[in-house]
């Protein structure tokens, strides 16, 4: 039941308190499709319609029967789940299938090696580490080349086949020492990542540095390399940041017997990491202009592009990758969430073959990653998505249009309450106007608490038995990520709930939002 027991409060008690204050502390006992069930006072099941969809992990719904059948079959057959350091045909097959789908969507024959992981954040960190390994190798090749040039200059000045022009330096030794000092200063600058403002890439020590929300990121700023956050709506902003930060190493060459100082590009940026449709930042699809600038600047400056499809991928926006429609092409892709079919914890990093370093396979691994169970469930998920010529993708697009149409109609009727509705496919958001200056006390207090969307969610759960949540970094935006099986009737129920909440906000009877 939902009743607290003496064992309540051991696991993350503070979060439970926050949920309770918003009336969101339900305990669910069963789940099916887009429905979660909690137990009522008399032990009966109470159905709650779920539009949160496991924060994107339930593209195919709760306890999808086909996926559960496959899981049961794997367990009944005593499939070895943990047999690390052995052949892993299931992982090869999953990686091959992902290659086939990604190639189809990119419209090219670029191949990718797969590194498996346990969570979205881990896949992002694997990308960060792989890109840093690559940057490090490129940097050592460059510094070795420069060292060789410096020694060559020393030898040639000594044997009289080259001279140092007086305006450059007093002596070859002085010049070489200067170049070395200047390069060491440069090299001491850490690597930097690039990511758009509003980005969310996880909460582990490395990935949290790429998560814009200061509340999540700043306490852990000292733990890992930093990111520069690029505005999404200012053409030229990325180029400016890259040009400002892009440093050079000094090198020496001999031309016509004279020693010259030349500048070499220092690969300071490890990678540009971005979501095609930002999820936790408030549901924002990248613009074609921004994507074009990212591709152009990154190609010029040789900065690898990591496309984080953890939330937007797996068919959610109407194609397997959300990047496809945007024409965004990555050197790396990350996938997680729905890859596990709602029951396995699974994530994968795809690395474009020409960039791949085999040594990474020992540098990054985990007890639980690449296990047979999650790989075989992942294959089942892909089989369902690819069936009937991609019916799941078409359905995600069609259901998304229907849901978006409903959200637009709510916005049209409550323009003073709803600021915007947006998104693509089954990754949609409704942003409420900021109520921090509302005249009604309760409404203003709710808005100023920093938990606006959670109070709205609490009301919708209590009064309508519909489960919604705001995005984690933009609490005025409710996110809707139901499964692809969402029905018209379910969309109608959400509509009734949203219209009710909008009427409450418009009529500034905000007290009904907060059960405090
Ligand atoms: N990247 C994106 C785009 C995400 O939406 C999320 C999770 N919301 C993550 C990374 C982190 O995934 P996980 O929660 O599995 O660590």
Task: Report pLDDT for 193.
Answer: 98
Cα(342) to ligand 1 centroid in Å equals 14
Q: Which helix (H) or strand (E) holds 306?
A: strand 305-308
Task: Report pLDDT for 166.
Answer: 86
List all residues whose CB is within 6 A of at least one atom of ligand 1.
55, 119-121, 124, 200-202, 275, 279-280, 308, 310-311, 336
* CA 345 to ligand 1: nearest atom: 15
By most ligand atoms within 8 Å of CB, the mutation choice from 120, 128, 281, 345 for ligand 1 is 120
Cα(140) to ligand 1 centroid in Å equals 32
**How far apart, in Å, are the Cα atoms of 461 and each of 51, 196, 330, 440, 513?**
11, 33, 39, 23, 11
Q: Which residue CA neighbors atom 13 of ligand 1 most closely?
A: 120
Task: Report pLDDT for 3.
Answer: 61
Virtual torsion, Cα 191, 195, 200, 206, nearest 10 deg? 0
Name the nearest CA neighbour of 340 among 374, 308, 316, 302: 374
Residue 354's CB is within 10 A of a number of other CB atoms, namely 8
Distance CA 210, CA 215 (A): 13
Cα(425) to ligand 1 centroid in Å equals 18
On whether the CB atoms of residues 195 and 208 are closer than 8 A, the answer is no
* CA 119 to ligand 1: nearest atom: 15
Q: Which residue CA neighbors atom 12 of ligand 1 most closely?
A: 120
The DSSP code for 340 is G
Cα(120) to ligand 1 centroid in Å equals 5
- The residues of the chain scoring below 50 in pLDDT are 516
Distance CA 349, CA 344 (A): 16
Task: Report pLDDT for 246.
Answer: 78
Cα(310) to ligand 1 centroid in Å equals 6
What the block records as the tokens of 350 is: 């795809």
* CA 334 to ligand 1: nearest atom: 1
Distance CA 24, CA 6 (A): 20
Q: Which helix (H) or strand (E) holds 70?
A: helix 65-76
Tokens 């559960």 correspond to 68
Task: Report pLDDT for 386.
Answer: 98
Strand partners for 32: 35
The DSSP code for 3 is S
Tokens 């059960």 correspond to 515
Strand 35-39 with 28-32, pairing: antiparallel
Strand partners for 258: 163, 255
Whether the complex's predicted ipTM is more than 0.85 is answered with yes
Distance CA 346, CA 120 (A): 8
Furthest-apart CA atoms within the chain: distance in Å: 98
What the block records as the tokens of 252 is: 């020496």
**How long, in residues, is the chain?**
516
Task: Report pLDDT for 167.
Answer: 80
On whether the CB atoms of residues 351 and 130 are closer than 8 A, the answer is yes
Distance CA 67, CA 58 (A): 12
Cα(54) to ligand 1 centroid in Å equals 11
Distance CA 142, CA 129 (A): 20
Task: Report pLDDT for 279.
Answer: 98
Residues 6 or more apart from 340 whose CB is under 8 A from it?
Answer: 57, 346, 374, 377, 378, 381
Cα(255) to ligand 1 centroid in Å equals 52
DSSP 129-171: HHHHHHHHHHHHHHHHHHHHHHHHHHHHHHTTS-B--TTT-S-
Cα(296) to ligand 1 centroid in Å equals 26
Q: Which residue CA neighbors atom 15 of ligand 1 most closely?
A: 120
Strand 332-335 with 305-308, pairing: parallel
Q: Which residue CA neighbors atom 1 of ligand 1 most closely?
A: 201
Task: Report pLDDT for 17.
Answer: 87
Distance CA 255, CA 78 (A): 70
Helix, strand, coil share (%) of the chain residues, nearest 5: 45, 20, 35
- 361-377 pLDDT, tens per residue? 999 999 999 999 999 99
Task: Report pLDDT for 5.
Answer: 62
Cα(405) to ligand 1 centroid in Å equals 27
Task: Report pLDDT for 427.
Answer: 98
- 493-511 pLDDT, tens per residue? 999 999 999 999 998 777 7
What the block records as the tokens of 256 is: 């016509």
The DSSP code for 220 is G
End-to-end, the C-alpha distance of the chain in Å comes to 22
By most ligand atoms within 8 Å of CB, the mutation choice from 284, 311, 472 for ligand 1 is 311
Using alpha carbons only, how large is the chain's radius of gyration in Å?
A: 27
């Amino acid at each position: 039941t939902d009743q607290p027991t003496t064992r309540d409060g051991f696991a993350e008690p503070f979060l439970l308190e926050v949920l309770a204050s918003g009336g969101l502390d339900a305990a669910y006992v069963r789940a099916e499709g887009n429905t979660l069930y909690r137990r009522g006072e008399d032990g009966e099941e109470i159905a709650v319609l779920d539009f949160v969809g496991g924060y994107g992990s339930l593209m195919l719904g709760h306890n999808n029967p086909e996926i559960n059948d496959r899981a049961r079959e794997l367990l009944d057959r005593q499939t070895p789940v943990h047999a690390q350091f052995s052949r892993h045909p299931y992982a090869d097959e999953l990686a091959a299938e992902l290659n086939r789908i990604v190639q189809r969507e990119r419209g090219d024959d670029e191949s990718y090696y797969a590194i498996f992981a346990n969570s979205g954040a881990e896949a992002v960190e694997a990308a960060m580490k792989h890109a840093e390994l690559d940057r490090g190798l490129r940097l050592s090749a460059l510094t070795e080349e420069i060292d060789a040039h410096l020694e060559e200059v020393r030898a040639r000045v000594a044997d009289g086949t080259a001279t140092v022009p007086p305006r450059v330096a007093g002596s070859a030794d002085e010049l070489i020492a200067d170049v070395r000092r200047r390069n060491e200063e440069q090299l001491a600058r850490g690597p930097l990542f690039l990511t758009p403002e509003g980005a969310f890439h996880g909460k582990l020590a490395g990935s949290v540095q790429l998560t814009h929300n200061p509340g999540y990121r700043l306490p852990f700023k000292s733990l890992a390399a930093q990111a520069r956050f690029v505005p999404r709506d200012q053409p030229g902003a990325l180029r400016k940041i890259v040009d400002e930060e892009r440093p050079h190493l000094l090198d020496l060459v001999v031309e016509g017997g004279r020693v010259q100082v030349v500048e070499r590009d220092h690969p300071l940026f490890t990678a540009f990491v971005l979501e095609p449709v930002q999820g936790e930042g408030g549901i924002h699809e990248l613009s074609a202009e921004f994507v074009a600038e990212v591709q152009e600047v990154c190609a010029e400056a040789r900065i690898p592009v990591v496309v984080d499809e953890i939330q937007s991928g797996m068919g959610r926006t109407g194609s397997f990758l959300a990047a496809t429609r945007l024409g965004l092409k990555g050197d790396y892709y990350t996938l997680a969430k729905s890859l596990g079919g709602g029951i396995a914890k699974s994530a994968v990093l795809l690395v474009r073959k020409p960039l791949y370093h085999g040594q990474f396979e020992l540098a990054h691994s985990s007890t639980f990653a690449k296990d047979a169970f999650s790989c075989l469930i992942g294959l089942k998920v892909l089989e369902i998505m690819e069936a009937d010529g991609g019916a799941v993708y078409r359905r995600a697009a069609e259901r998304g249009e229907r849901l978006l149409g409903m959200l637009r109609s709510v916005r049209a009727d409550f323009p003073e309450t709803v600021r915007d509705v947006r998104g693509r496919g089954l990754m949609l958001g409704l942003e409420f106007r900021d109520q921090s200056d509302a005249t009604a006390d309760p409404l203003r207090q709710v808005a100023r608490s920093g938990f606006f969307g959670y109070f709205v969610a609490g009301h919708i759960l209590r009064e309508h038995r519909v489960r919604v949540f705001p995005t984690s970094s933009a609490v005025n935006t409710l996110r809707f990520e139901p499964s692809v099986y969402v029905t018209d009737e379910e969309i109608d129920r959400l509509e009734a709930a949203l219209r009710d909440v909008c009427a409450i906000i418009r009529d500034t009877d905000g007290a009904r939002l907060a059960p405090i």
